[in-house]
Chains A and B, each alone.
Chain A
Amino acid sequence: GNSVTQMEGPVTLSEEAFLTINCTYTATGYPSLFWYVQYPGEGLQLLLKATKADDKGSNKGFEATYRKETTSFHLEKGSVQVSDSAVYFCALYTGGFKTIFGAGTRLFVKA
């Protein structure tokens, strides 16, 4: 069946460090891939998405490239800030109705 696996957290980084949060998926067909972010005390919000292979989603300095050959959609940012501290969820949509979410990765950024 369809599934999403993302790296366990928490991830703790110093400000301006490079961030990678790994996400791999299992799916039939050609899913759309998403990263959602949940800031403390808030609901989830879309961070970026990619709808086909080799697409790169980007927003707020974050990027992720849809790699069909490795079934991955890793999230990266070149220089994190304290304000990036949040929980990040990788997700896939294969059509129909259901979006499958990963377990979430908590990021702590220290000043």
Chain B
Amino acid sequence: GAGVSQSPSNKVTEKGKDVELRCDPISGHTALYWYRQSLGQGLEFLIYFQGNSAPDKSGLPSDRFSAERTGGSVSTLTIQRTQQEDSAVYLCASSLGISGDTQYFGPGTRLTVL
């Protein structure tokens, strides 16, 4: 079946612009995660959605970052007034949402802020 997909695969934007990154999780997966991977760094947790529960936003680095998940499926990560330090690969993952389960990752969106 289809895996996690993300779009766009690459995004180049100018400092100060807003960007939207999209994630389509695996059908039936109730849990969805966003991570940021900066060059040479590990994964930085950003936000987590589980079913209809309120999302855990504890990893969002600033109030310029927000995310929503519509209908329990597609998710959009929005970065307002982008800064150069926002340049990174943004990874989305989904899982069945049960204890100890595996996360399935999308290929990521590479964001470059000029």
Is B43 on the interface with A (CB-CB < 8 A)? yes
Is B105 on the interface with A (CB-CB < 8 A)? yes
Is A77 on the interface with B (CB-CB < 8 A)? no
Interface residues on B, range: 20 to 34
Total cross-chain contacts (CB, 8 A): 49
Shortest C-beta distance, B89 to chain A (Å), equals 9
A99 and B103 in contact, given A43-B108, A89-B42, A104-B42 (Cβ under 8 angstroms): yes
Is B48 on the interface with A (CB-CB < 8 A)? yes
Please tell me which stretch of A19-27, A45-53, A60-68 contacts chain B, meaning at least 4 of its Cβ atoms lie within 8 angstroms of it. A45-53
A43 and B4 in contact, given A93-B100, A98-B45, A102-B42 (Cβ under 8 angstroms): yes
Whether the Cβ atoms of A103 and B42 lie closer than 8 Å is yes
Whether the Cβ atoms of B108 and A95 lie closer than 8 Å is no
Shortest C-beta distance, A3 to chain B (Å), equals 11
Whether the Cβ atoms of A43 and B91 lie closer than 8 Å is yes
- Complex interface: chain A residues within 8 A of B43 (CB): 44, 89, 101, 104
**Chain B contact residues, CB within 8 Å of chain A:** 4, 31, 33, 35, 41-43, 45, 48, 50, 56, 91, 93, 99-108
Given contact pairs A44-B103, A46-B104, a sample of 10 additional A-B residue pairs in the complex whose CB atoms are under 8 Å apart: A34-B102, A42-B107, A43-B91, A43-B106, A45-B104, A97-B50, A98-B45, A102-B42, A104-B41, A104-B42
Closest 10 CB pairs of A and B: A103-B42, A43-B105, A32-B100, A44-B105, A101-B43, A43-B107, A46-B102, A104-B42, A97-B48, A43-B106
